[in-house]
Amino acid sequence: MTTLAAIEDLSVAFRQGSRSVTALDSVNLTINSGERLAIIGESGSGKSTLALALAGLLPASAEQIGKIHWPNGRPLPGRDIGMVFQDPSASLDPVLTIGEQVAEGAVAHLGLDWKAARLRARDLLARVQLPDPQSLLHAFPHQLSGGQRQRVAIAAAIAAGPVLLIADEATSALDTIVQAEIVALLRSLVAEEGMTLLFITHDIALASSLADRIAVFRQAKLVEIGTSADITRHPREFYTASLLAAHIDLTTPPLIGERA
Amino acid sequence: MTALLAAEGLGKSFRRGGVRLAAVEGASFSVDAGETLGIVGPSGSGKTTLARLIMRLIDADMGTLCFEGSDLFALRGKALRATRKRFQMVFQDPLAALNPRASVADVIGDPLRIHRLSDRASRPAAIARLLDRVGLPAALASRAVHEISGGQRQRVAIARALATKPRLIVLDEAVSALDVSVRAHILKLLVELQAESGISYIFVSHDIAVVRAIAHRIAIMDHGRIVETGPTAQVIAAPQSATGKALIAAVPRLMPAQD
Instruction: Measure the CA–CA gap between A203 and A215, rounded to whole angstroms.
Output: 12
Work out the percent of chain A whose per-residue pLDDT is above 70. 99
What confidence tens digit (pLDDT) does each residue in A119-168 have?
A: 999 999 999 999 999 999 999 999 999 999 999 999 999 999 999 999 99
| pLDDT over 60 at A258, yes or no | no
Of B34, B42, B150, the CB nearest to A43: B150
* A259 lies within 8 A of chain B by CB: yes
Taking an 8 Å cut-off on Cβ atoms, the answer to whether A246 and B180 are in contact is yes
Residue A64 three-state SS: strand
C-beta of residue B6 within 8 angstroms of C-beta of residue B71: no
Q: ipTM score of the complex?
A: 0.87
Residue numbers in B near A205 (CB within 8 A):
252-254
Q: What is the pTM of this model?
A: 0.90
* B143 lies within 8 A of chain A by CB: no
* B216 lies within 8 A of chain A by CB: yes
What are the Cα distances from residue A221, in Å, to A23, A29, A230, B144? 9, 11, 19, 29
Work out the percent of chain A whose per-residue pLDDT is above 90. 89
Instruction: Measure the CA–CA gap between A103 and A118, rounded to whole angstroms.
Output: 5
Q: Give the ranges where B99-205 is alpha helix by DSSP (H).
A: 104-114, 123-133, 150-162, 180-197
Taking an 8 Å cut-off on Cβ atoms, the answer to whether B181 and A243 are in contact is yes
State residue B16's pLDDT score: 81
Taking an 8 Å cut-off on Cβ atoms, the answer to whether A255 and B213 are in contact is yes
Residue numbers in A near B35 (CB within 8 A):
259
Taking an 8 Å cut-off on Cβ atoms, the answer to whether B184 and A256 are in contact is no
- Intervals of chain B under pLDDT 70: 1, 256-259
Taking an 8 Å cut-off on Cβ atoms, the answer to whether B44 and A177 are in contact is no
**Going edge to edge, which strands form the sheet with B70-71?**
B19-31, B5-16, B62-67, B70-71
State residue A257's pLDDT score: 74
Instruction: Measure the CA–CA gap between B183 and B150, rounded to whole angstroms.
Output: 10
* A204 lies within 8 A of chain B by CB: yes
* B54 lies within 8 A of chain A by CB: no
C-beta of residue B5 within 8 angstroms of C-beta of residue B65: yes
CB-defined contacts A:B, below 8 A: 107
Instruction: Measure the CA–CA gap between A142 and B181, rounded to whole angstroms.
Output: 34
Residue numbers in B near A208 (CB within 8 A):
252, 254-255
* B199 lies within 8 A of chain A by CB: no
Give the pLDDT mean for A96-113. Answer: 94
Q: β-strands B87-90, B5-16: how paired?
A: unpaired
Taking an 8 Å cut-off on Cβ atoms, the answer to whether A249 and B251 are in contact is yes
* B212 lies within 8 A of chain A by CB: yes
Residue B46 three-state SS: coil
State residue A90's pLDDT score: 87
What confidence tens digit (pLDDT) does each residue in A65-83 have?
A: 999 999 999 999 889 999 9
* B192 lies within 8 A of chain A by CB: no
Region label for A14, one of left (φ > 0), alpha (ψ between -120 and 50) or beta (otherwise): beta
* A244 lies within 8 A of chain B by CB: yes
Residues 6+ apart with CB under 8 A from A183: A171, A206, A209, A210
Q: How far is CA B109 from the centre of its chain?
A: 20
Window 144-203 of A, Cβ < 8 Å to B: 145-147, 174-180, 202-203
* A260 lies within 8 A of chain B by CB: no
What dihedral do alpha carbons A100, A106, A108, A112 form, nearest 10°?
-100
Residue B18 backbone phi and psi in degrees, to 5: 80, -10
What confidence tens digit (pLDDT) does each residue in A165-223 have?
A: 999 999 988 899 999 999 999 999 999 999 999 999 999 999 999 999 999 999 999 99
Instruction: Measure the CA–CA gap between A77 and A56, rounded to whole angstroms.
Output: 7
| pLDDT over 60 at A260, yes or no | no
